[in-house]
């Protein structure tokens, strides 16, 4: 008696269909994961820079400005290299009139007394969700709140 070994045509077609499905889904999942990581990194970096500006103003006894350039899509402390905001993310800023420039640059000035000019900066994902970073003008404290879709 002879036993045949191997795969049937239906078994091979099922395996190929599963491989094709996985090949189609992996890039979509990777894109979402990448966008999510870029969003978290941008929020962390911006929060860190804002808090550093406040700390430096208090510790060094001088004014320190945190700047967001909406046109160039970057942010950072004055006098330091700017950090880029990844392309799918959008920025919005509401700051004091004296901290706005014609070139779509907004700033928040931290004072040695602990106060600031105050304002909000929003980091918005393509879905419309995001985070609002609020700097209190009186205390210079930073708060984070979600933006609903």
Within-domain flag for 1: no
CA 23 to centroid of chain Cα atoms:
29
Within-domain flag for 18: yes
Within-domain flag for 105: yes
At 132 the three-state DSSP class reads strand
Within-domain flag for 3: no
Within-domain flag for 40: yes
What pLDDT, on a 0 to 100 scale, did the predictor assign at position 34?
84
Structural domain boundaries, residue 118: 9-147
Rounded distance, CA 134 to CA 17, Å? 50
Domain at 135, CATH number: 3.55.40.10
Dihedral angle sign, alpha carbons of residues 97, 132, 113, 49: negative
Within-domain flag for 2: no
Counted domains in the chain: 1
Within-domain flag for 56: yes
What pLDDT, on a 0 to 100 scale, did the predictor assign at position 29?
66
Provide the whole-model pTM: 0.79
Query: Can you read off the two tokens belonging to residue 41?
Result: 């990194």
pLDDT tens for 76-112 read: 999 899 999 999 899 999 999 889 887 789 999 999 9
Within-domain flag for 73: yes
């Amino acid at each position: 008696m002879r036993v045949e070994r191997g795969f049937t045509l239906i078994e091979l077609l099922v395996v190929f269909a599963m491989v094709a499905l996985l090949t189609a889904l992996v890039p979509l999942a990777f894109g979402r994961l990448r966008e999510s990581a870029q969003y978290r990194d941008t929020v962390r970096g911006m929060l860190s820079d804002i808090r550093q500006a406040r700390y430096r103003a208090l510790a060094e006894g001088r004014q320190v400005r945190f700047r967001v350039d909406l046109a160039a899509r970057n942010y950072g402390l004055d006098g330091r290299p700017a950090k880029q905001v990844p392309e799918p993310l959008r920025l919005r800023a509401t700051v004091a009139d004296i901290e706005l420039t014609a070139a779509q640059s907004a700033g928040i000035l931290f004072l040695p007394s602990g106060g600031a000019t105050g304002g909000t900066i929003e980091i918005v994902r393509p879905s419309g969700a995001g985070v609002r970073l609020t700097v209190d003008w009186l205390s210079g404290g930073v708060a984070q709140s979600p933006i609903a879709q």
